[in-house]
Structure formats: structure tokens, C-alpha cells
Amino acid sequence: MRSKANQALNFKVLLLGIFLAFLLLFVVRSSLSLSKENPSPMSKTPLPKASNVKTNAEAEAEAANCSPTCTKIPRSLAQALIHYSTSTITPQQTLKEISVSARVLEKKAPCNFLVFGLGHDSLMWSTLNYGGRTIFLEEDEAWIEQIRRRFPMLESYHVTYDSKVNQAENLMDVGKGPECTAIGDPKYSMCQLALKGLPAEVYDIKWDLIMVDAPTGYYEEAPGRMTAIYTAGMMARNREDGDTDVFVHDVNREVEDNFSKAFLCEGYMKKQEGRIRHFNIPSHRDGLERPFCPE
């Protein structure tokens, strides 16, 4: 019992530390911006004395409305800090697993971040990508509505999957065919593994990070993550330039293990920590001749 309590306490301490680090970075950036936009008084031409006079009402209104360079903590960051410091529910990922993605986010945020799955950690991911765009794709409509009532600021969409875990072996064979290794937009792919019914913006945005932590995949009739993993890899390859960091959770399971190695490629794997793997996949449309997986 003490071990579990200590683990929960350590998780909150680390999470608060991450948030405070991002908050400090936000304040420093805002302060630098303020100093650039407001040079020292010696370099300014003095204004007439009357123009500097403000009524109490004007001063109060100005304070309430906070200028664009104000360093007041954003409301979304405040909500996240309060939520995670008071919540008794912890995300499914461990401290070390979360840290793998958080370190990449620290370097790339604000960025475009696509997450397959919507859960107790969603507010955290959105907050760590403050100023960027984070989209969550979820299979359970009732769960989406529940999360939206609590956190209306999160951008989430309902998606459906027509695959099942018990089809994984057959889909692995299908994925080796030329229609599945050809580089192109998954929306128009002829590959059975490609997800074609996602919201339009999911195909249009150039994703910097993609996390696959859904759909459900722990029983035979569940949708499984075969198509999500494949589609994430093809989105990364199909971007015009640059690279995409892809994370897959629950790689202790057979489907996540085999499909991440096959379609995100062991040669692109940067790190595994516990049940999460980190891959960095370069564009395959940058003019260089690349094999589907590096040799």
C-alpha cells in the first residue's frame, strides 16, 4: 500500500514539475517579448503629461483585460494544474513512459499533435502542447461526451474501426503487399489497413507527433490498433518534408509489438521505456529514395 501511495505521490510531483517548467518557459518568453516591444524610457519620445493620466475605472479595466504581453498564467494551464493536483485518478502510462513523450514535446511544442485515444491523460497532453493543436480520436461516443462536459477545451472526434484483433495475422500479410507499401495519402489508399473515414483535417494537417494509445485492443473482438499504427506510419512518410515522432503504447501486447515493428520499423525506433515505443519517421517524399523500412 505504501509503495502505491508513494508512486501516486511521485507521479503528481513529476507532473507538477513538468507543468511548472512549461509555465516558467511561458513566462520567460512573454517577458522577453515585453522587453522587445517596450524599450527603455530613454529611447522614447516623452508624451504630453495629460495623456498619461488614467481614471480609476480605466486602470481597473486595463488590469482586468490584461494586455497581449501580459504574463498572467493562461486559464487552460491553470485548469490542468488544479485538475491533476487534486485528482485521485492517474493516467494509464507510468511516470517513465510519460516522460518519453514529454521530452519530445518540450522540444517541438507548440506543434501539431495527433492522439489516437481520449482518456484521463488527455488534458495533460493538450496542456504540454500549449499554443499548438492537439486532436484526439476516440471510438466511444459516450466517453467523448463525458470528457467534453469536463474539459470542453479539448478537440476530439469520434471515429469507427472495422477491424478486429482476431484479424491481425491476416492484416499483417495484407500489409506486405505493394498497395500497402506505396507512399501516399492514407485517405485515398487501396490498402485495407489504411483508415479512410477520419475527419478531413486529420489528413490535411502535417503532424509533428502522433500517439497511438487506442482503440481498444485487449480482447479478440476488440478493434485493435493494427490500422491506427499503420495509418500513423503512412501519415509520417507522406508528409512533404521533415519527420514525425510516433509513439505506440501497450507494446507488451502482441499486436502492438508486431505492428509497430513492421509498419513503423525497428530501424526508426529511438527508444522503448516500459510499454511505450518512440519512433522517428522521416518524410519519404523529400526526393530521396528510401525503402519502406531502413535496412
According to the model, what pLDDT value does residue 10 have? 58
Residue 36, pLDDT score: 46
Asked whether the predicted pLDDT for residue 206 surpasses 60, the reply is yes
Residues of the chain with CATH 3.40.50.150: 91-282
Q: Which of 66-70, 140-144, 258-262, 291-295 has the lowest mean pLDDT?
A: 66-70
Q: 25-76 pLDDT, tens per residue?
A: 555 455 544 444 454 444 444 434 433 444 334 444 454 555 555 566 677 6
Distance CA 293, CA 265 (A): 6
Q: What pLDDT is recorded for position 34?
A: 44
Residue reference for cell 488590469:
63
Q: How many CA atoms lie within 13 A of 160 on its CB side?
A: 2
CB 101 within 8 A of CB 273: no
Query: Chain-wide mean pLDDT for the chain?
Result: 83
List pLDDT tens digits, range 5-19.
Answer: 455 555 555 555 666
Residue 118 has pLDDT above 80, yes or no: yes
Helix boundaries (H) for 129-225:
141-150, 168-174, 178-181, 200-204
pTM of the model: 0.77
- Compute the residue count for the chain: 295
Task: Tell me the CATH number for domain 91-282.
Answer: 3.40.50.150
- Residue 132 has what DSSP assignment? S
pLDDT at residue number 83 = 64
Q: Residue 16: what pLDDT?
A: 59
Stretch 108-118: mean pLDDT? 98
Q: What pLDDT score does 168 carry? A: 99
Q: Report the distance separating Cα 288 and Cα 281, nearest Å.
A: 14
73-100 pLDDT, tens digit per residue, is: 677 666 666 666 566 676 789 999 999 9
pLDDT band at 286 (very low <50, low <70, confident <90, very high): confident
Is residue 194 over pLDDT 70?
yes
The pLDDT score that the predictor gives to residue 47 is: 39
Q: What pLDDT score does 92 carry?
A: 82
CA 275 to chain centroid? 17
